[in-house]
Structure 1
Amino acid sequence: MSDSKLLRGTMILTAATFISKILGLIYIFPFSAIVGQQGLALYAYGYLPYTVILSLATMGVPLAVSKFVAKYNALGDYYTGRRLFRSGMVVMSITGFIAFLMLFFMAPVLATLIIRDPSELQGNSMDDIIFSIRMVSTALIIVPIMSVIRGYFQGFQSMGPTAISQVVEQIVRIIFILSLTFLIVGVYQGGIGLAVGFATFGAFVGALGGLAVLLVYWFKRKELLNRQMSESTIDHQIPLKSMYRELISYALPLSFVGLAIPLYQLIDLFTFNNALIASGVRQEEAEVAFGVFSQSAHKLILIPVALATAFSITLVPTITKSFINGDEDLLRSQITQTYQIILFLTIPAAVGLSILSFPAFGVLFGLGDVEIGGSILRYYAPIAIFFSLFAVSAAILQGMNKQKYAVIGLLVALIVKLLSNYLAIYSLGALGGVLTTYLGYTISIAINVWAIGKFANYNYRFIVKRLILISIFVAIMAFVVVIIKHVLELVFPMTNWTNTLIVLIPSIASGGLAYFFLTVRSHLAGQILGQRFSFLRWKKKRTEAQ
């Protein structure tokens, strides 16, 4: 794939992912205002098991199908990809329905694992937890089918259908969630459990919207796709059994690696509340902390991670092509390009969010839970860098057919997280869960980085130099933000929402301007992002002209 095609696909998915993440962040504010942090915890009780079951049902299908189709398209065989598409639609319909039945009937068992002895006076009841899990399970009937269609389009390096369907799916889901919860709680004075249950059902409604978009794209492009298939220069005539064996060899590692964040959260789901309650914390307080940890703070952190997610999607087919063609120079260039952008964008975002954790949480989620929310966010925010590096490094290994190393790293990390999480939370409170997440991701990233260096013959010297320079600029930015924040707090104590907003906005602006000025004046921004934003290179061009 040409660099321009890589950039185009990346920019489309980046824009869509950012829009989706921002919408997912924005809706949390009114949603949390309606149901509270305990309501967010209840939402997580349903949504996290659904996410894991969904990944098992789809088995990494979008990326696996994308990789499979891209491989055979590059060989001039469009027919094999179409056969996989047709068969995959049938298989995913069946596995999706089976997954729905599993989650629906497992709901009572999962509920007892989340909170072993719930107190209905202080926290969410067992019936509320079961209801939320069962309502979200319905989405499993539709989402697996979408995964096949998205993967097929991505195999043609067409990212538009995936991007647009993701945004539409999110918009439909959010409108449904906010409308229903407001009506249930605000108008009809219904319970939080009923409102959150219908909120989780929004996953099904949103999936209908996303599927409608994909079907529109399919019927618009069907004639072109059929013509490409008829013009295929070769037909490998691979039996379905062999085809699925190859697909599963891609899909199992892809599915497992794609489950990284949900699996970490699943471990927290089954240990967080129980560990805090065992240490003497009331259920209500434990659920508030879990709501912050798994939803509020987590949503904020995922914004800078959105870029890494977009890159991980586009990298698999492009790196696969470079790897198959034996173009090592292009492969290393793609790796360098990706690492630079991830570090350039996520490090300042994560550090800034950590410094401004209290005013950011107070403005976005209210001052009622700002102490626990700001405290968790302060220490949890830098995990965005780890999430991003893991997503990108795992995607690179997948593209090189070395995904087993990403799987090994993740397995080791999850075992460490599982063995240490309960004790860490029991001893350190909510921050224990943060600590074990850092520990696990450090292990995974170390293994991924080593494997890339070994099998891509990649030298990290240049990236280390870039990291040092970016870190220096971020340190200066952080100093500016701390000073501005401290001065503003002296004049505007953060005792009400307005003062907190006055502290937050100038602090963000000063940090952003400082980092922008330093990186543009040093030409770092132009060297990393110049191909995307030509204005970043104008000073360099003017200097060269003189």
Structure 2
Amino acid sequence: MKNNSAQKMVQGATILTLTGIVAKVLSAVYKIPFQNLVGNVGFYVYQQVYPIYGIGMTIALSGLPVFISHLVAQNDDQQLNRRLISDLQWILTGLVLIIFIGLQLGDRTIAGWMGDWQLAPVIRAVSWMFLFTPFLATGRGYFQGTGNMYPTAYSQVVEQVVRVTVILSVAVWAAKDHIDPYIMGRNAMLSAPIAAAFATLIILLARNKLGSWPDNPPSNNGPRVAGLLKQTLLEGGTVCLVAAVMVLLQLVDSFSVIKGLVGQGFSLNAAQNIKGAYDRGQTLVQFGLVLGTAATTSSLPLLTRFYQQTYQLSFARGAKTLAHVSIFLAVAVSAGMAALMPQINLVLFASHDQDFVLAVYGMSVIFATALLVQNSILQSVGSFYPLMVGVLTGIAVKMVLTKPMVLGMGVLGASVSTILSLVVMVLIANWLGRRWLRFVFNFEKLGRLIVISLIMMLTVNGIANVLTIYLGTGRLMAIGILLITVPIGVVEFLGLSYRARLLTNREWLTIPFMKKILKRMGKRNATR
């Protein structure tokens, strides 16, 4: 029975990982043609309000469902779980109504805080998606907690496909008919509630197959509901904070960067163009976080099960593997992006605007991934305090530093403040959660990883610069340079990392396609 349960959990984690990758790639890829169609100002309008959508999506997809699945997985009593889900639905309905009403009535105030009152209709448009959150969060959490990942997986992919389709359709219409950027932004943000409605339909279909569903009135046990509310706010809130950490940092940028640039002397239009170019970094970071986010989200149920069943060796091994592989990949992606940012920026966005700023911003992938790893490990053992303190402190640091740093350094200050805030989060969580994290991170190997990354960066950047001299600086030439330098960088990075023994044989084989790559590299002993 235990083997079947573990096998089912692994299969479910694999499904969620694969669909998570597909959905996150879709969520990042569409921004490239979108920005090309609507330009920097249109992209600015969309990205200013995007963090509000991102928070709602996190609550409904990767925040509360993970927390709820953790609660459901702890109980084998189906009746108790259904009562739990029913109570959570009513609790979340009350909370999201407060958010919805606040966004509807406070739209002009929020837009004013962002330095651009014309954003008010865009804010109202995105607020409608929150009304779907209670059902999506509880439905996905219930199915994930019982080991059935398919409803979450299907609803996740359908939601992103519908949303991306609507957004790109709006962008094409706006570009063709020269629609005002703010009207375009409002219509693009309406994609969020439309997509949420389709995702809800998927959950409804899955619910009907059960034959029964926890749709009863809330429990009459007042103290029990009050305790569940407190647990939802503290533990569920922590999960959402960590899952939405990059979105929350972007939200701080929405309130700070434009005001800082205007205070530095730029006109509002010029500040919008600069912010629109800076917002490209969020798309690039999303790409970098795809593997790490999917892996950490899907690993939580398995780590939790190992811990609860006192499989301490399996838990420690799984935690180490998760940390080592995730950080390894994050550093590789960040270093590669930094080295080739001029070519990446030109290929994706048709300009060299803010190359250096975007390269710096890309380094946040490393620290955001480390935070996600810490979250997965600490949450699996039921420890929420370190993450709550770390994330809140880091956000406070970001709020205090961003505007002064933008005034002093331009938009580069926003990138630097993001990285500093993430570093604060990771250090505080690591200190407060050292009981569980002290055996996970190997700082000696991390030093070797940094050296190897610098060698790779110098190599591919040097080759790219030489090729640029001979081939030219056009967009087509940049594609050719990337096609040449990326494989060189990957081979060099993997080869040096293998010789430096940065990962164990078991860890190497957890990386997709790595077994075949190692065979081709002649490292057959890694497959033993």
Counterpart amino acid of residue 32 in structure 1: Q
What is the CA distance between 1:85 and its match in structure 2?
A: 1.8
CA distance in 1, matches of 2:337, 2:387: 28
Residue 198 (structure 2) aligns with:
209
CA distance in 2, matches of 1:445, 1:411: 12
The answer to whether residue 344 in structure 2 is matched with residue 354 in structure 1 is no
Residue 416 (structure 2) aligns with:
435
The answer to whether residue 479 in structure 2 is matched with residue 501 in structure 1 is yes
Structure 1, unmatched stretches of 5+, are 119-125, 227-235
Aligned length: 514
Stretch deviating more after TM superposition (26-35 or 533-542): 533-542
TM-score between both structures, scaled by the size of structure 1: 0.86
The answer to whether residue 8 in structure 2 is matched with residue 25 in structure 1 is no
Stretch deviating more after TM superposition (211-220 or 166-175): 211-220
2:472 alignment partner, SS class? coil
CA distance in 2, matches of 1:346, 1:287: 30
What is the CA distance between 1:419 and its match in structure 2?
A: 1.6
For residues 387-426 of structure 1, what are the structure 2 equivalents within 5 Å?
A: 387-426=368-407
- CA spacing shift, 1:67–1:542, aligned 2, 3 Å: closer
Deviations, residues 332-388 of structure 1 (Å, cap 9, x unaligned): 212101111112211111100011111101110112xx232x122111111101111
The answer to whether residue 365 in structure 2 is matched with residue 384 in structure 1 is yes
The answer to whether residue 153 in structure 2 is matched with residue 163 in structure 1 is yes
Counterpart amino acid of residue 64 in structure 1: F
- CA spacing shift, 1:394–1:493, aligned 2, 3 Å: same
Stretch deviating more after TM superposition (394-403 or 195-204): 394-403
| Residues 6 and 314 in structure 1, CA contact (< 8 A), matched pair in contact too | no
CA distance in 2, matches of 1:225, 1:48: 32
Residue 95 (structure 2) aligns with:
95
CA distance in 2, matches of 1:98, 1:297: 32
CA distance in 2, matches of 1:315, 1:458: 19
TM-score between both structures, scaled by the size of structure 2: 0.88
For residues 179-194 of structure 1, what are the structure 2 equivalents within 5 Å?
A: 179-186=169-176, 188-194=177-183
Residue 251 (structure 1) aligns with:
236
Residue 150 (structure 1) aligns with:
140
What is the CA distance between 1:430 and its match in structure 2?
A: 0.5
The answer to whether residue 331 in structure 2 is matched with residue 328 in structure 1 is no
| Residues 59 and 137 in structure 2, CA contact (< 8 A), matched pair in contact too | no
Deviations, residues 295-325 of structure 1 (Å, cap 9, x unaligned): x211111212122222332344333333333
Structure 2, unmatched stretches of 5+, are 215-220
Stretch deviating more after TM superposition (472-481 or 147-156): 472-481
CA distance in 2, matches of 1:453, 1:420: 27
1:142 alignment partner, SS class? helix
The answer to whether residue 18 in structure 2 is matched with residue 15 in structure 1 is yes
What is the CA distance between 1:290 and its match in structure 2?
A: 1.8
Deviations, residues 469-524 of structure 1 (Å, cap 9, x unaligned): 43344334223312320221111221x22222222221222212322444567774
1:371 alignment partner, SS class? coil
Residue 490 (structure 1) aligns with:
469
For residues 524-543 of structure 1, what are the structure 2 equivalents within 5 Å?
A: 524=503, 526-531=505-510, 533=513, 534-535=515-516, 538=519, 541=524
What is the CA distance between 1:50 and its match in structure 2?
A: 4.0
CA distance in 1, matches of 2:378, 2:226: 26
| Residues 530 and 537 in structure 1, CA contact (< 8 A), matched pair in contact too | no
Residue 325 (structure 2) aligns with:
341
What is the CA distance between 1:93 and its match in structure 2?
A: 3.8
CA distance in 1, matches of 2:387, 2:160: 29
Counterpart amino acid of residue 469 in structure 2: L
Counterpart amino acid of residue 512 in structure 1: V
Residue 233 (structure 1) aligns with:
none
| Residues 453 and 460 in structure 1, CA contact (< 8 A), matched pair in contact too | no
Stretch deviating more after TM superposition (1-10 or 62-71): 1-10
CA distance in 2, matches of 1:499, 1:537: 31
CA-based RMSD: 3.0
| Residues 301 and 383 in structure 1, CA contact (< 8 A), matched pair in contact too | yes
CA distance in 2, matches of 1:281, 1:108: 23
| Residues 529 and 536 in structure 1, CA contact (< 8 A), matched pair in contact too | no
Counterpart amino acid of residue 357 in structure 1: M
The answer to whether residue 446 in structure 2 is matched with residue 467 in structure 1 is yes
What is the CA distance between 1:190 and its match in structure 2?
A: 2.5
What is the CA distance between 1:57 and its match in structure 2?
A: 9.1
- CA spacing shift, 1:97–1:544, aligned 2, 3 Å: closer
What is the CA distance between 1:48 and its match in structure 2?
A: 1.9
2:382 alignment partner, SS class? coil
Residue 299 (structure 1) aligns with:
283
The answer to whether residue 287 in structure 2 is matched with residue 308 in structure 1 is no
Counterpart amino acid of residue 353 in structure 2: E
Counterpart amino acid of residue 302 in structure 1: Q
CA distance in 1, matches of 2:163, 2:460: 36
